[in-house]
Chains A and B, each alone.
Chain A
Amino acid sequence: MLRQLKKKYFIDLGSTLASTFILCIYLFVGWYFFNWLIIDGVWVGDANICKNSSGACVSFLKEKFTFILFGVYPREYLYRPILGIVLLVIGWIHFTKKKNWNNLLFVKFLVLMIIYFVLLSGFGENKVETSKWGGLPLTLLLSIVGVAISYPVGILLALGRTSKQAVPRYLSIVYIELIRGVPLISILFMSSVLIPLFLPDGITINKLFRAQLAIIFFSSAYFAEVVRGGLNSIPKGQWEGAKSIGLNYIQTIKLVILPQALVKVIPPTVNTMIGMFKDTSLVIIIALFDLMGTTKASMTDSKWLGFSVEAYFLCAVIYFIICSRMGRFSKKVEEEFQRSH
């Protein structure tokens, strides 16, 4: 153990210096953080005690924890989003296991998302309007549904863009370049302000739905370009091999080209997914309170002013945990597919 440590980090003067330097930084940051959170941190007490301390105000986080996670979701029904998130975590564990990657996966996923949606919305007397949804459940809904729809749409756009047929090719190019040329914020604005203007009187589209649409429009263009990279990396010979045994275009795409192309672009695909997950925080500008929105709102309580560092810290931890899980998953999938070759 010691010898390995030496071999890895202290093999010569250069690596010893570098390791020591980095270790010092870790220790310094760690110590500072430990002081802030544990030693000087206020774990019990109200806002006044917090204000007189130099450490973290954990009391504030305890007070606002439910609000940051769930927004203004009615407290008496809070068990529903909690149950929903538990189901998503179970689903995630289930879906990331290779033995479950079969045709049933899609059906299972669909059922899970329907249950999740019904849990959040409820029905009859227990119905909770989407305007009251917020925090982590909303962020998860927007990103999961967003990925689930925009990834397949992105694949279709990529196929369109690489097609020899002029009509799908130009439609795809125009769509992708148009969407990529504007920021997500402006698409969100358009979907929230412009769409209602064009609709006839009396017809309204739910704000959450409009935000979801904007996210799907936006990220499908990005997925399309990622997938196109994969398609371009497949040698022409694969197309010809498939054609030569009588496979038609759709069979060739489905059985030969996509299985190879999608695997090749797993890292940028997950990269886009992570980016998209974080981009959902922009829905705050059309007054939807996702995790970032509830975090910001938690800072405006007049009783608890001035604890933004704590609030952002909690928010960052939650984002980090989820993003790092996605990163791990990406690595695992890559390894699985490399092994099977």
Chain B
Amino acid sequence: MIELKNVNKWYDDFHVLKDINLRIETGEKVVVCGPSGSGKSTLIRCINNLEEYQQGEIFVDSIEVQDLQTNIEKLRMDVGMVFQHFNLFPHLSILQNLTIGPMKAKNIPEEEAKKTALKFLDKVKILSEANKYPDQLSGGQKQRVAIARTLCMAPKIILFDEPTSALDPEMVKEVLDVMIDLAKEGMAMICVTHEMGFAKSVADRIIFMDEGRIVEDATPENFFENSTQPRVKEFLSQIL
């Protein structure tokens, strides 16, 4: 469903992504990890065109992301994204945060959009806060709202960009639980995270990046037990 071919990206002189080749099948759950500055976030941000790449091709459902013919808004509806800092809209209520996308981008009638929104708010266990504003919620609650906002767009895959990194430790679990539920229901995802417990329990594949390259691409079992890459071993010994 997603395919990256020889993708290269530079920030001025800095070569962030180096010859990235990657195929992700429909329904696959992929965890991307690696030291900071290794290009993990940049990689997934290229997939929904929040960042541009200078070389190579990225296909989402065989549509090239940076092709001028591509309807990028439509592509983004299929590729949801959850951010480290939630990026909820502070001037809108929780319910409006969830309905604005379906109503404005997909032209879904308000009643239907609300029904869907309430369904997903219930799913992330935050239904009672529907009429509050983002600033009235805790970080964990905000991130669950952000996940619900993405779900409302009925995406085929969700990109998670360090979804728990900005959270207080006691709130990490409530967000991970929601993500684990989603994974178990078969939602495809690419998740940049340092939560190795999460990676172990849900990932089909773990991708390890270092200095802009994919160094390792393995099943969780092989990744944690049998990796031959010295950088992976070093990384694991530091965080486990």
Shortest CB distance A234–B (Å): 10
B50 at the interface (CB under 8 A from A): yes
| Interface residues as binary, B62-101 with A (CB distance below 8 Å gives 1, 0 otherwise) | 0000000000011011001101011111110000000011
Q: Is the CB of B135 within 8 A of A341?
A: yes
User: Bound state CA distance, A244 and B89, in angstroms?
Assistant: 12
Given the interface pairs A237-B83, A255-B100, A259-B91, the reply to whether A244 lies near B105 with Cβ below 8 Å is no
Shortest CB distance B184–A (Å): 24
Q: Is the CB of B73 within 8 A of A238?
A: no
Given the interface pairs A246-B74, A247-B105, the reply to whether A241 lies near B50 with Cβ below 8 Å is no
Q: Is the CB of A245 within 8 A of B101?
A: yes
Q: Using a CB-CB cutoff of 8 Å, which residues 220-269 of chain A contact chain B?
A: 237-238, 240-248, 251, 255-256, 259-260, 263
User: Bound state CA distance, A237 and B90, in angstroms?
Assistant: 12
A residues contacting the other copy or chain, number (CB 8 A) = 19
B48 at the interface (CB under 8 A from A): yes
Given the interface pairs A244-B48, A246-B73, A246-B76, the reply to whether A260 lies near B105 with Cβ below 8 Å is no
User: Bound state CA distance, A263 and B92, in angstroms?
Assistant: 13
In the complex, chain A residues whose CB is within 8 Å of the CB of B105: 245-248, 251
Q: Is the CB of B50 within 8 A of A245?
A: no
Shortest CB distance B11–A (Å): 15
B150 at the interface (CB under 8 A from A): yes
Given the interface pairs A246-B101, A246-B105, the reply to whether A240 lies near B83 with Cβ below 8 Å is yes
Shortest CB distance A36–B (Å): 50
Q: Is the CB of B76 within 8 A of A255?
A: no
Q: Is the CB of B91 within 8 A of A341?
A: yes
In the complex, chain B residues whose CB is within 8 Å of the CB of A251: 104-105
User: Bound state CA distance, A245 and B50, in angstroms?
Assistant: 12
Q: Is the CB of B150 within 8 A of A245?
A: yes
| Cβ-neighbour of B76 out of A243, A256, A259 (below 8 A) | A243
Which chain A residue lies CB-closest to B82? A244
User: Bound state CA distance, A180 and B104, in angstroms?
Assistant: 38
Shortest CB distance B101–A (Å): 3
Q: Is the CB of A255 within 8 A of B50?
A: no
Which chain B residue lies CB-closest to A263? B91
User: Bound state CA distance, A258 and B108, in angstroms?
Assistant: 23
Shortest CB distance A296–B (Å): 46
Q: Is the CB of B91 within 8 A of A245?
A: no
Q: Which of B81, B88, B101, B135 has the most CB of A within 10 A?
A: B101
| Cβ-neighbour of B73 out of A248, A255, A340 (below 8 A) | A248
User: Bound state CA distance, A256 and B100, in angstroms?
Assistant: 10
Q: Is the CB of A240 within 8 A of B150?
A: no
B147 at the interface (CB under 8 A from A): no
User: Bound state CA distance, A242 and B101, in angstroms?
Assistant: 8
User: Bound state CA distance, A340 and B136, in angstroms?
Assistant: 11
User: Bound state CA distance, A263 and B83, in angstroms?
Assistant: 25
Which chain B residue lies CB-closest to A237? B87
In the complex, chain A residues whose CB is within 8 Å of the CB of B15: none
Which chain A residue lies CB-closest to B149? A245
Shortest CB distance A257–B (Å): 10
Which chain A residue lies CB-closest to B74? A246
| Interface residues as binary, A129-141 with B (CB distance below 8 Å gives 1, 0 otherwise) | 0000000000000
Shortest CB distance A199–B (Å): 44
Which chain B residue lies CB-closest to A245? B101
In the complex, chain A residues whose CB is within 8 Å of the CB of B50: 240, 243-244
In the complex, chain B residues whose CB is within 8 Å of the CB of A240: 50, 81, 83, 87
In the complex, chain A residues whose CB is within 8 Å of the CB of B88: 241
Q: Is the CB of B133 within 8 A of A246?
A: no
In the complex, chain B residues whose CB is within 8 Å of the CB of A238: 87, 89
User: Bound state CA distance, A39 and B109, in angstroms?
Assistant: 71
B4 at the interface (CB under 8 A from A): no
In the complex, chain B residues whose CB is within 8 Å of the CB of A341: 90-91, 133, 135
Q: Is the CB of A255 within 8 A of B104?
A: yes
User: Bound state CA distance, A238 and B100, in angstroms?
Assistant: 14
| Interface residues as binary, A309-341 with B (CB distance below 8 Å gives 1, 0 otherwise) | 000000000000000000000000000000011
Instruction: Name 26 interchain pairs, CB-CB below 8 A, sorted by A.
Output: A237-B86, A238-B87, A240-B50, A240-B87, A243-B50, A244-B76, A244-B80, A244-B81, A244-B83, A245-B80, A245-B105, A245-B149, A246-B77, A246-B101, A247-B73, A247-B100, A247-B101, A247-B104, A247-B105, A248-B73, A248-B105, A260-B90, A340-B91, A340-B133, A341-B90, A341-B91
State the 6 A-B residue pairs at the shortest beta-carbon distance, nearest first. Answer: A241-B87, A245-B101, A246-B105, A246-B77, A244-B81, A237-B87
Apart from A245-B77, A246-B77, A246-B101, what are 19 other A-B pairs with CB-CB below 8 Å? A237-B85, A238-B89, A241-B86, A241-B88, A244-B50, A244-B81, A244-B87, A244-B150, A245-B76, A245-B100, A246-B74, A247-B105, A248-B73, A255-B100, A255-B104, A260-B89, A260-B90, A341-B91, A341-B135
Interface residues of A (CB under 8 A from B): 237-238, 240-248, 251, 255-256, 259-260, 263, 340-341
